[in-house]
Chains A and B, each alone.
Chain A
Amino acid sequence: ETGVTQSPTHLIKTRGQQVTLRCSSQSGHNTVSWYQQALGQGPQFIFQYYREEENGRGNFPPRFSGLQFPNYSSELNVNALELDDSALYLCASSITRSTGELFFGEGSRLTVL
């Protein structure tokens, strides 16, 4: 059974640029959620996708957007990067929209200079 995989694992961008992070869900999981974990903080919910539609959103501006594809893989896009966007971005998949056990990837570490 393949777990949740994310790419890239590390990347560096400059302020104002755009970034796309990718995630492959665990086999059989039709729901994907994205979380941002800043240094010294717990993961913070960005949004969730279920069957290719946004199912819920946290307190993040519209420049954070996402996609879920028919094979349940997912992307997180962030436009107009700001210094505070520097964080670990975690993708999590699950078999239900209601939160039970989430299966997390190892994350993508984004540094904005």
Chain B
Amino acid sequence: DQQVKQNSPSLSVQEGRISILNCDYTNSMFDYFLWYKKYPAEGPTFLISISSIKDKNEDGRFTVFLNKSAKHLSLHIVPSQPGDSAVYFCAASGGGSNYKLTFGKGTLLTVNP
């Protein structure tokens, strides 16, 4: 049973345009959400997070939106750059198991010059 789902295995966008990566979750006890970026042959690196008490968090070109009623979050990257090409993982924690992250399968983002 996959509690965090990223239904798009891949996404391709043009440099300078917006990239939108989506994530759905089923566990209503999750109260903290994170996005990680992973380049080949490297470990995941933290990108941005959001608490369930917020519906938006912004950090430079990266914005995460949370819709609790829909159990949906999205990561917006504006403007997209070729260096953003990587696998993006959505992760969640909470509900008494806040020592662990539950990850989605990831979305491969390709930003074309």
Q: Which residues of A contact B (CB under 8 A)?
A: 4, 33, 35, 40-45, 48, 55-56, 58, 90, 92, 97-107
Q: Is B32 engaged at the interface, CB distance under 8 Å to the other chain?
A: yes
A4 contacts which chain B residues (CB < 8 A)?
43
Query: Measured between alpha carbons, how far is A58 from B102 in the docked complex, in Å?
Result: 10
Centre residue among A48, A90, A97, A99 by max chain B CB count within 10 A: A99
Known interface pairs A56-B100, A90-B44; 13 further A-B residue pairs with C-beta atoms within 8 A, sorted by A's residue number: A4-B43, A33-B100, A44-B103, A55-B99, A90-B43, A97-B99, A98-B99, A99-B99, A101-B46, A101-B49, A104-B36, A106-B41, A107-B43
Tell me which residues across on chain B come within 8 A of A90, comparing CB atoms: 43-44
Alpha-carbon gap, A100 to B34, bound state (A): 8
Complex-state Cα separation, A42 to B106, whole angstroms: 6
CB distance from B15 to the nearest CB of A (A): 27
Interface residues of B in 8-30 (CB under 8 A from A): none
In the assembled complex, which residues on chain A have CB atoms less than 8 Å from the CB atom of B49? Answer: 100-101
- A43: chain B residues within 8 A (beta carbon): 44, 89, 101, 103
Q: How far is the CA of A45 from the CA of B101 in the complex (A)?
A: 7
- Taken together as a complex, chains A and B put the C-alpha atoms of A83 and B62 apart, in Å, by 39
State the B residues within 8 Å of A (CB).
4, 6, 32, 34, 36, 41-46, 49, 89, 91, 93, 97-106
Q: Are A48 and B44 touching (Cβ within 8 A)?
A: no
Query: Judging by beta carbons under 8 Å apart, are A56 and B97 in contact?
Result: yes
CB–CB B43/A48 < 8 A? no
| Chain A residues within 8 Å of B45, by CB | 104
Please, which residue of chain A has its CB at the minimum distance from the CB of B97?
A: A56
Instruction: List A contacts of B93 (CB < 8 A).
Output: 98-99
- Nearest residue, chain A, Cβ from B93: A99
19 contacts between A and B (CB under 8 A): A33-B100, A35-B101, A42-B6, A42-B91, A42-B103, A42-B105, A43-B103, A48-B100, A56-B97, A90-B43, A90-B44, A97-B99, A98-B93, A99-B99, A99-B101, A102-B46, A106-B41, A106-B42, A106-B43
